[in-house]
């Protein structure tokens, strides 16, 4: 009789344990991901290039995953505030980052007190798009191509002003072009906004590098003159415009990339699902048309491994660039 009671009690405990296991919530990676809205964090204010591309990515990713993607803007410090937040988020795939060079590769060079490791604290899923930049000059400058500009700049060493904001594409273009073509441009640093382009039109500065969409109207109206595209290939928006190298200068790749990353430690099946969805996004005709409208193109062939390797390789390059750029600023 006693043994029967113990047998029944043991059976009840066993069944209860099984029931508890059966009813317990599954780990995030085992659930049908995504089962709730995804937060895509953008490290810049609404309306800028990163925000626009982030919203395009978010819209198309939502359609591929069948789940809402909510854009959250956390602007400041070149995107590093947003990156720091995502690095500390739960790695379940529901908090993602629009990853950009300023926060993921140039960040530690420009902001030495970063609270995150640019490689170890992130899961790099895919590079998604890049945006073309043009080398533009004030129309009064007596040059019609890059070779003529180099000759002019050498004859007027220290007298040709190149304007931009330190850490942004314009300042990168100014300093790289200066270094690689043995000219001595004077870099004029601006806090941001439209002032660099306005001063270029006014003739305060003579040359700069700007996104296609930013200066297309000024070029068509004759307020600015485009000399070349700062990329390895020509642009569909300006098919007759040569690359910097084709126009007589040293090769210059100034096409900032945009990708999707998450915190380190994300479940691999979730990473794969997001990556596969982004691969499909990159092939969507509507996505390509949306990018074309802002002077951007998709990046094909990106993988988690290649994206991670690119970030690790670019960090020392930008560290040297930042040192050179700061040294070139007028004192």
N-term to C-term CA, the chain:
96
* CB half-sphere exposure, 131, CA atoms < 13 A: 27
Tell me the C-alpha to C-alpha distance, in Å, between residue 35 and each of 30, 66, 172, 270. 11, 9, 41, 12
- In order, the DSSP letters of 80-146 are HHHHHHHHTS-SSSSEEEEEEHHHHTSHHHH-TT-SS-TTTTEEEEEEEEEE-EEEEE-TTSS-SSH
- pLDDT score, position 326: 61
Topology alike, domains 33-131+255-323 and 133-254: yes
The rounded radius of gyration (Å) of the Cα atoms in the chain is 25
Name the residue ranges covered by the structural domains of the chain: 33-131+255-323, 133-254
- pLDDT score, position 325: 63
CATH H-level superfamily of 33-131+255-323: Bordetella uptake gene, domain 1 (3.40.190.150)
- pLDDT score, position 7: 40
Side-by-side strand order, sheet with 257-263? 69-73, 38-42, 95-100, 257-263, 122-131, 296-298
Contact predicate 50/258, CB 8 Å: yes
What's the CATH class of domain 133-254?
alpha beta
The CA-based diameter of the chain, rounded to the nearest angstrom, is 108
Give phi and psi for 95, each to the nearest 5: -130, 110
Its pTM stands at 0.79
**Per-residue model confidence as pLDDT tens for the chain (331 residues):** 444 444 434 444 444 443 443 344 444 444 699 999 999 999 988 887 889 999 999 999 999 999 999 999 998 888 899 999 999 999 999 999 999 998 999 887 878 889 999 999 999 999 999 999 999 999 999 999 999 999 999 999 999 999 987 777 888 899 899 999 999 999 998 876 788 999 999 999 999 999 898 899 999 999 999 999 999 999 988 999 999 999 999 999 999 999 999 999 999 999 999 999 999 999 999 999 999 888 899 999 999 999 999 999 999 988 888 777 664 544 3
Per residue, the 3-state secondary structure of 248-283, as one string, reads: CCCCCCCCCEEEEEEECCCCHHHHHHHHHHHHHHHC
């Amino acid at each position: 009789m006693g043994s029967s009671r113990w047998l029944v009690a043991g059976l009840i405990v066993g069944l209860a344990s099984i029931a508890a296991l059966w009813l317990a919530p599954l780990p995030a990676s085992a659930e049908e991901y995504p089962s709730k809205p995804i937060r895509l964090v953008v490290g810049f204010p609404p309306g800028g290039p990163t925000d626009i591309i982030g919203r395009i990515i978010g819209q198309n990713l939502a359609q591929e995953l069948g789940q809402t993607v909510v854009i959250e803007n956390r602007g400041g410090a070149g995107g590093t505030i947003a990156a720091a937040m995502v690095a500390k988020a739960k790695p379940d795939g529901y908090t993602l980052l629009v990853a950009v060079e300023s926060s993921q590769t140039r960040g530690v060079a420009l902001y030495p007190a970063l609270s995150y490791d640019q490689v170890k604290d992130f899961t790099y899923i895919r590079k998604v798009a890049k945006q073309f930049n043009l080398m533009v000059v004030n129309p009064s400058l007596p040059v019609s191509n890059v070779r003529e500009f180099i000759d002019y700049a050498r004859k007027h060493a220290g007298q040709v002003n190149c304007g931009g904001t330190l850490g942004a594409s314009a300042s990168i273009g100014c300093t790289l072009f200066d270094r690689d073509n043995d000219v001595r441009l004077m870099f004029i640093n601006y806090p941001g906004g439209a002032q660099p382009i306005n001063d270029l039109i006014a003739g305060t500065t003579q040359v700069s590098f700007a996104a296609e969409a930013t200066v297309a109207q000024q070029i068509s109206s004759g307020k600015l003159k485009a000399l070349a595209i700062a990329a390895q290939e020509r642009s569909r928006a300006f098919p007759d415009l040569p690359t910097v190298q084709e126009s007589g200068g040293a090769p210059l790749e100034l096409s900032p990339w945009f990708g999707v990353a998450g915190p380190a430690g994300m479940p691999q099946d979730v990473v794969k699902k997001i990556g596969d969805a982004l691969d499909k996004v990159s092939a969507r005709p509507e996505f390509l048309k949306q990018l074309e409208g802002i002077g951007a193109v998709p990046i094909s062939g990106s993988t988690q491994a290649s994206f991670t390797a690119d970030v690790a390789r670019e960090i020392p390059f930008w560290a040297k660039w930042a040192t050179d750029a700061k040294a070139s600023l007028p004192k």
